Amino acid sequence: MIRVAKTPSETITERKDEILNQIDSSSNKFVEQLQAFCRQPSVSAQNLGLAETAELVSKFLKETGFTVEQFSPSKGPPIVFAELSSKTGRRTLVFYNHYDVQPVEPVELWKNPPFSAIVEDGRVYARGASDNKGNIASRLSAINAFLKVTGTVPCNIKWVIEGEEEIGSPHFSEFITRYKERLTGDSAIWEFGGLDYEDRPLVTLGLKGMLYVEFRVQTALKDSHSARAAVVENPAWRLVRMLDTITDEDGRIMIEGWYDDVKPFTQEELEVIRAMPLEEHSIRDELGVKNFLYGLTGFEFKKAFYGNPTANIAGIWSGYTGPGHKTVLPSVAQAKMDFRLVPNQDPVKLAGKLKQHLVRHGFADVEVGLQAENPAARTPIDAPIAKIAARAGREVFRKEPVTLVTSAASGPMHYFTNILGLPTVAIGCNHAKSNTHAPNENQRIDVFVQGSKWIARVIEEFAKQA
């Protein structure tokens, strides 16, 4: 059968459909890959299975066609770096993902074992299914489709997959220092992204920063009978009093100078925020919350959600926490706090302010362990990659995409935007109801497949740019 010659644009269109069809037809294989990936635990906070998971993700990358190396930082698990050169395009897209996951606790709230990766109701249920193994497998599926259909990718792909994102990427700077010269590129795709509560595709252009600290108060060598509470100081009281100086009753941070360097939203950013859909009701329904802090609602809710620095008690513990009653005077009390930061706030400077605050309020004896620090990151609203991501999202999901000036979450994006100079967007295959960081985390399989298509369309359109 003789085929009629086609114009270049027709070829692209036909190829495009072939690629999207290829993603559909290989979806079972990549869902199975995701399940295998999830069954390998990789809890960075507990140093669980990290090297094994780095091996597994390297294997997946090699099988797809990447050249893979593992960078070993001074401490911590390997960072996987993979490259795939294009035979046809000259531009370079950099992917950032992470293979580590959050702890599974409280494990009793999971319907299925957290690493069983059981498929139910069209979802893969597992810790890490959505954050972030789903995105890795979904991107592999997109790249696999290009290779299967065209024998190459339309642009060069560089891919960084680290193993400590969930604990604040403490060794990622070592990797950036060593690989800076090789990490040249034109744009970057961040680890997460997907659909909001209304199934609209989200294009996120920034992240909050993070300062994570652990407090420890010890007032005696050992626990004792609480009859002694009449004369011996209780560290839990001391921790409670110290914490109560950090925020006021509305949640505003009372550490002197905390807000000094905060860069307010630009007028353009405020316009985008105004256009952003309101997550207020979805969060209200999901969490059963009647009122938000300060009575926030509408535009003010959105501005606060995306623009406010936060001070969150992520954990607190002391004494007897089992069932029934025990009359113990504890010797140690501890708390974990995450402070989320906005652009221009420097986590190192703020850690200093926190310590000064403790001294000023008479809590110099409280030990402060700094566990992680990342500044915030922002990509300009008019960056070409932002527009490509939005257009491709509209095309794949047939819904008007939503551009987010920033996420309320955190990560080491500033290395990409500020140090490598890569305009970076967060898009992917997640869904707002995927229980990220919570029990029964899951990955919707339909969004997993559509997310592959979204990435494929972005790669193709990005490659076409001058």
Site for its own copies in 431-460 (CB under 8 A): 436-439
Q: Binding of its own copies at residue 462 (CB under 8 A)?
A: no
Bridging pattern class, strands 201-204 and 402-404: parallel
- SS in 3 state form for 102-149? CCCCCHHHCCCCCCCCEEECCEEECCCHHHHHHHHHHHHHHHHHHHHH
CB 429 within 8 A of CB 448: yes
Output the smallest distance, CB 322 to its own copies, in A.
Answer: 6
Which x/- pattern, by CB under 8 A, does the window 357-376 give for its own copies? --------------xx----
Q: In this chain, which stretch among 75-83, 186-194, 234-242, 455-463 interacts with its own copies, using CB under 8 A?
A: 234-242
Figure out which of the listed residues 14, 63, 233, 367 binds its own copies, where binding follows CB under 8 A: 233
Q: Which of 383, 375, 387 is CA-nearest to residue 341? A: 375
Neighbours of 381 (CB within 10 A): 16
Q: Binding of its own copies at residue 133 (CB under 8 A)?
A: no
Figure out which of the listed residues 254, 275, 314, 348 binds its own copies, where binding follows CB under 8 A: 314
Q: What is the footprint of its own copies within residues 378-417 (CB under 8 A)?
A: 407-410
CB 117 within 8 A of CB 129: yes
Q: Binding of its own copies at residue 148 (CB under 8 A)?
A: no
Q: Binding of its own copies at residue 298 (CB under 8 A)?
A: no
CA distance 363 to 244: 12
Residue 81 pairs with which residues in a beta bridge? 69, 160
Which x/- pattern, by CB under 8 A, does the window 255-284 give for its own copies? ----------------------------x-
Q: Binding of its own copies at residue 21 (CB under 8 A)?
A: no
Q: In this chain, which stretch among 12-20, 204-212, 343-351, 416-424 interacts with its own copies, using CB under 8 A?
A: 204-212
Q: Residue 148 or 252: which CB sits closer to its own copies?
A: 252
Q: Binding of its own copies at residue 317 (CB under 8 A)?
A: yes
Pseudo-torsion of CA 466, 379, 95, 213, nearest 10°? 170
CA distance 101 to 96: 15
CB 132 within 8 A of CB 165: yes
Figure out which of the listed residues 147, 176, 229, 368 binds its own copies, where binding follows CB under 8 A: 229
DSSP assignments along 399-453, one per residue: S--EEES--SSB-THHIIIIIS---EEE--SEETTS-TTSTT-EEEHHHHHHHHH
Figure out which of the listed residues 40, 97, 135, 331 binds its own copies, where binding follows CB under 8 A: 331
Q: Binding of its own copies at residue 135 (CB under 8 A)?
A: no
Q: In this chain, which stretch among 20-28, 65-73, 209-217, 260-268 interacts with its own copies, using CB under 8 A?
A: 209-217
Q: Binding of its own copies at residue 197 (CB under 8 A)?
A: no
Q: Binding of its own copies at residue 340 (CB under 8 A)?
A: yes
Q: Residue 311 or 427: which CB sits closer to its own copies?
A: 311
Pseudo-torsion of CA 442, 444, 448, 450, nearest 10°? -150
Tell me which DSSP letter residue 277 carries: P
Q: Residue 29 or 326: which CB sits closer to its own copies?
A: 326
Q: Residue 316 or 420: which CB sits closer to its own copies?
A: 316
